[in-house]
Structure 1
Amino acid sequence: MDNKILVIEDDPSMGFLLKEFLSANDFEVTLCKDGDSGLTAFRSSGAGFCIIDVMLPGIDGFTLAERIRKENKLVPIIFLTARSLKQDILKGFSLGGDDYITKPFDEDELLCRINAIRNRYSLGSPATSIFMEPVSIGSYAFDIQNQCLIFEDEKERLTYRECDVLRMLCENKNNIVRRSDLLQKYWGKDDYFNGRSLDVFITRLRKRLGKDPSVRIENVPKVGFILSDQSK
């Protein structure tokens, strides 16, 4: 993954500090002060990572992220905002955000979260050998290398986080995957808000796998999930 980061932040002081801090940590930073210029910069800068404030002039951060997701399902997005209500956090994750950080925040923690997402999402990261070729899930083929689900002749691109969660479910097909293991591995922390984020991604994956009734993601209350494949 490249080191280009797009930061959309309307507060001049905060934007300056973020750009200086990230630049000092070897990132190439493009800073925009509103949603409209942020969308234009995303299309032209080739950024491989987005940090988006929610309360922006023009296009708000949620709408901006939604538009970015329509054009690129894979680019990681962190929301960095003063809005800390539960419904805002859940909305951020439901729109495809990879993390949601509330202000004030610790710069070193932000850097750790950025690097954790970059490392996890790197296509060069180690994968288990079962994913060198597409994996069968009922009538689907799960192509981890190209991050997509294939059903008949249709390909549906997955986000990095969807790909991560589905990969872990596939590694343990027809067996329980504990919520705590998923949260610790891909979110870094097992807490309420991360748990709700995980539920959003499970709901998305259920919809993506909904064309084959022999495939289900079963919920084991308070324990975890089972990717059930009854096609054989």
Structure 2
Amino acid sequence: MPSILLIEDEPALGMIVKDSLEVRGFEVRYAADGQQGLELFRQQRPDIVVADVMMPRLDGFSLAEIIRRESPQVPIIFLTARSQPADVVRGFELGAADYLKKPFSMDELIVRIRARLGQSAVPAGPAGLLRLGHYQFDHPKQRLHWPGREEQPLTHREAELLKRLYERRNQVLERAAVLQELWGDDNFFNGRSLDVFITRLRRYLKDDPQVQIVNVRGIGYKLLL
């Protein structure tokens, strides 16, 4: 069971997030400020840290600096109302894996947590290529390759969508969350655009019957490998 350290100085929000994560099968330790969060981190060594930025006793950025020195690999997701570019840049410079602006949806947070937890377990082929059946997916170069054939170039959004499907392979990728992440809004028109992108990816992957993207009605999509 994945373990999460949740650090949030708004108790009502903290309890809501904690309960929602536990219902979905995560083990959650909760701290109400940065100093308590650091103590729990040292005691528990969680799989991932989800932390507010503006907290008493020890703010999220300072906490991240300490965690990075002690445990360079653990993913950190910031929850914050601060969305100025300088704040976002500083968060990533301190080693944040992700940055979620308040108010946020629980579905989006869960998708991002699962994506970050899945990164360390993603099997890779030569030169970091990800294997999808007979296909090789080069996410940084935005290329899909079947050995012995011409490469299929992908757009940035196609590559990001395929990466998220791969990170959640054999599990549901929630439609609303991926729309928020890649389109910025889950309105009707963006939803239709997402359907078009899913159709394109299915066409690119059609030559391997073991690789399928299926609809999960009312929820999202699942990449079957």
Using the size of structure 2 for normalisation, the TM-score is 0.59
Aligned to 2:35: 36
**Matched ranges for 1:127-146 at <5 A:** 127-130=124-127
Please state how far the C-alpha of 1:178 moved relative to its aligned partner.
9.0
Q: CA distance change for structure 1 residues 182 and 95 in 2, over 3 Å: closer, same or farther? A: farther
Aligned to 1:197: none
Question: Is residue 122 from structure 1 mapped to residue 98 from structure 2 by the alignment?
Answer: no
Distance in 1, matches of 2:36 and 2:155, equals: 39
Aligned to 1:8: 7
For structure 2, list consecutive stretches of 5 or more residues without a partner in the other structure: 129-138, 144-152, 168-177, 184-225
Residue type at the aligned position of 1:46:
R
Residue type at the aligned position of 1:87:
A
Using the size of structure 1 for normalisation, the TM-score is 0.57
Distance in 1, matches of 2:158 and 2:97, equals: 14
Question: Is residue 45 from structure 1 mapped to residue 44 from structure 2 by the alignment?
Answer: yes
Q: CA distance change for structure 1 residues 12 and 59 in 2, over 3 Å: closer, same or farther? A: same
Query: Identity of counterpart residues, as a percentage?
Result: 41
Please state how far the C-alpha of 1:129 moved relative to its aligned partner.
3.7
**CA deviation string 1:67-118 (max 9, x = no partner):** 1011111101100011111111111111110110010001111111111122
**Matched ranges for 1:120-199 at <5 A:** 121-123=119-121, 125-130=122-127, 168=140, 180=156, 184=160, 185=163
Please state how far the C-alpha of 1:46 moved relative to its aligned partner.
2.0
Aligned to 2:70: 71
Please state how far the C-alpha of 1:9 moved relative to its aligned partner.
0.3
For structure 1, list consecutive stretches of 5 or more residues without a partner in the other structure: 132-166, 172-176, 192-232
Q: CA distance change for structure 1 residues 46 and 11 in 2, over 3 Å: closer, same or farther? A: same
**Matched ranges for 1:84-99 at <5 A:** 84-99=83-98
Residues 53 and 80, structure 1, Cα contact 8 Å, conserved in 2: yes
Distance in 2, matches of 1:127 and 1:52, equals: 29
Corresponding pairs, count:
151
Please state how far the C-alpha of 1:59 moved relative to its aligned partner.
0.8
- Cα RMSD for the two superposed structures: 3.0
Aligned to 1:202: none
Residues 47 and 117, structure 2, Cα contact 8 Å, conserved in 1: no
Q: CA distance change for structure 1 residues 66 and 21 in 2, over 3 Å: closer, same or farther? A: same
Distance in 1, matches of 2:60 and 2:30, equals: 14
Distance in 2, matches of 1:182 and 1:72, equals: 33
